[in-house]
Structure 1
Amino acid sequence: MEENKAQQTMGVYKLSLPPLTEAFESWTISQSKHSNLNYTWTIQNFSNLTETCYHYSPAFCRCDKDNLKWRLELYLNGSSEIWIGLKLSSEPVNGDKIMGKFKISVLNAEGKKSYSKTSSGVIELKANEEYERLKIGRNNLLKYYLPGDILTIYCEIDVVTNTVDFSGRKGITQNTNPESTLIADFANLLQSQSLSDVKLVVGKVEFPAHKIILASRSDVFKAMFEHDMKETKSGRVVITDVKPEVIQEMLHFIYTGSSQKIKEMADELFIAADKYALDDLKKMCEITLYEKLSIDRAADTFILADRYNMELLKKETINYIIFHGKDITETIGWEEMTIKHPALINETLKALFSSKEQLPISK
């Protein structure tokens, strides 16, 4: 069984104006934005892998707008050595060049990096191309770095996304991407309930809101308020099929574009986002559901992905079920799925039997 963990951070380098800028009438400083992704691939019973062949980790992504997918590959060169490499397994949607650097390491028993391989500076990362690999003698690895017969591979990827220009003249500095208080202002507007003109009513709980903001973010609310419907006349939108805490979080997203509790309620939040046509929130929930895939959650995630046509999540969940078949088939969720959703069981079996390629070792 393998464990995989991914973390991603978005950042922009801090601006520090060089003293020399004051000596010129005008100047521009360009800054690179970057995105970091750290990924851990843990392979148990490593010594049982004796064949000369490739093994691949499940696809993992940066979970931001470009959805670039990556895989680690493990090549066993007979009994002498292993090679560990990184591949970009999807093309960028907009066709832009992907520039970045990466580092692949093997972790020892203390979780510290032992063997490591770093790309030679910032390079162009192209889909399905091979880059410099980490090569390790197999016997040396088994003897010193695999306590419990576990191989842990740690990958760090730093991708340059774009640049931000800062320009100015003597005594004047202009940031072409100024930090805004807009999000904070809208969050305060929701919290203060100032000038609200509609209420979302869930049971005994009422959430004051603003028609213009709801309509600008959701086509469903827009159609509701533009026509002579009872919600427009009464100023009340009664909701009977969504929990109050889910509506509260949905409103937070509508006003701020972010969600603070998405990890806790991704399933229910996705359903609410689908009901009110909040596509960005749906995408965020889909990514979170993928990140939360586990033995116990696999069946429920599979059912949800099928019901709401989340094809990418559905495909990844099927792969996950295939990799962890024995453990998942013993869960209560799987037993219920066999009774209520037999077609999904059949779909999983078809995917298993029709696979012609070497399956990834597992997530």
Structure 2
Amino acid sequence: CFSNQTNVQFKAKFKFTVFNSRNEEIPTTVYTGTQQLHGYFEYIRRDLLISHVHPSDELQLVLNMTVTFDTVTRTSQAPKTLGPPEPKPAEVTKDLESIFKDAKLSDFTIVVGDKEIPVHKVVLSARSPVFAAMLEPHTEEAKTNRVVLEDVEYEVMHELLMYMYSGRSPNIQQMGLELLAAADRFQLPGLKEMADHVLRSHLIVDTACKFLVFADMYNSPELKNEAVKFISQNINSVIQVYHFRKFLNLHWEILVLLPLLAGYYYVY
């Protein structure tokens, strides 16, 4: 008795065979239907079969059943190993900013005017090629663990260091020009790009020529192009704002950047 209690789909092949008195197999019928059946289907009519059988005869019926199941392929995956969650950028920024504000573990001092800023060599070296060279073992700064900077304002240096630690510059809107110069000096391209963007957004008649001079001096091509474009489009307004001839005497290089201004030199 065949029993399928798992509700698995299968196919069955049935072979019915009848043997005669000489134990010879007579023609058979093979059923390979795919539909589901219960009970028997018509193989041979009973009256036809009995008519050829004597009472003393022995009738041999053989049934061969072949059952095949569909192959089921399952792809198993090893359980994913979940590592610890990555720290959020805001958390990293906050932590590094806290390190900058806390002088406990500092190992280097930057002196600006009469103020000292405690910092960490590893951060300076990692963020700025200029500081990395300054802190090579053979340098005086590395031996004394301090450097005096006389040509930068304390507020600008503090803001620059805030960027080096945290990637932020909260006061860049107020000191864009100064940070552009400082970022160029200490080779901080990210801060320089931020300052460049701020200055381009602040291009007005009052600032255009000054921004152009700074852009040329500190190699800021996008700001330079925007300033040239702005001055060209607003030339009459620009020359009325400045003591123009005095400005050009101080910054004659602007005539090279913007030849259009040369014609106004002798007028104003």
Matched, 1:324 2:234: yes
Between Structure 1 and Structure 2, the one with more helix by share is 2
CA 1:196–1:303 in 2, change beyond 3 Å: closer, same or farther? same
Residue from 199, 219, 223 that aligns with 1:309: 219
CA contact (8 A) 1:296 1:333 kept: no
Find the aligned partners of 1:277 and 1:173 in 2 and give their Cα distance: 36
Moved segments of 4+, more than 6 Å: 172-177
Partner SS, residue 220 of structure 1: helix
Aligned in 2, Cα 1:179/1:249: closer, same or farther, shift over 3 Å?
A: closer
Q: Confirm whether residue 254 of structure 1 aligns to residue 160 of structure 2.
A: no
TM-score between both structures, scaled by the size of structure 2: 0.63
**Is residue 221 from structure 1 mapped to residue 138 from structure 2 by the alignment?**
no
How many residue pairs align between the two structures?
Answer: 183
DSSP-derived class of the 1:227 partner: coil
CA 1:341/1:243 → structure 2, altered by over 3 Å: closer, same or farther?
Answer: same
Contact 2:232-2:260 within 8 A present in 1 as well: no
For the 8 Å contact 2:255–2:261, the answer to whether it is kept is no
Contact 1:193 1:208 in 2 (8 A): yes
Match of 2:197 in 1: 287
1:197-247 C-alpha deviation (Å, 9 max, x unpaired): 001001100000000011000011111112311111111110010000000
Separation in 1, partners of 2:229, 2:212: 11
TM value normalised by structure 1 = 0.47
Q: Which has the higher contact order (CA 8 A, sep 6+)?
A: 1
Q: 1:208 to 1:333 in 2, by over 3 A?
A: farther
Please identify the structure whose Cα radius of gyration is greater. Answer: 2
Runs of 5+ unmatched residues, structure 2: 1-78, 264-268
CA RMSD of aligned residues (A): 2.5
Q: Distance in 2 between matches of 1:196 and 1:324?
A: 50
Greater strand content: 1
Cα displacement string for residues 135-158 of structure 1 (whole angstroms, at most 9, x for unaligned residues) = xxxxxxxxxxxxxxxxxxxxxxxx
Contact 2:208 2:231 in 1 (8 A): yes
C-alpha separation in 2, matches of 1:214 and 1:334: 42
Structure 1 residues 279 and 329: alpha-carbon distance in aligned structure 2, compared to 1, 3 A threshold:
same
The structure 2 residue matched to 1:272, chosen from 182, 189, 192, is 182
SS of the equivalent of 2:212 reads helix
User: Gaps spanning 5+ residues in structure 1: where?
Assistant: 1-168, 354-363
- Structure 2 counterpart of 1:267, one-letter code: L
8 A contact 1:295–1:327 mirrored in 2: yes
Deviation of the 1:343 alpha carbon: 3.3
User: What is the distance in 2 between the residues matched to 1:229 and 1:307?
Assistant: 29
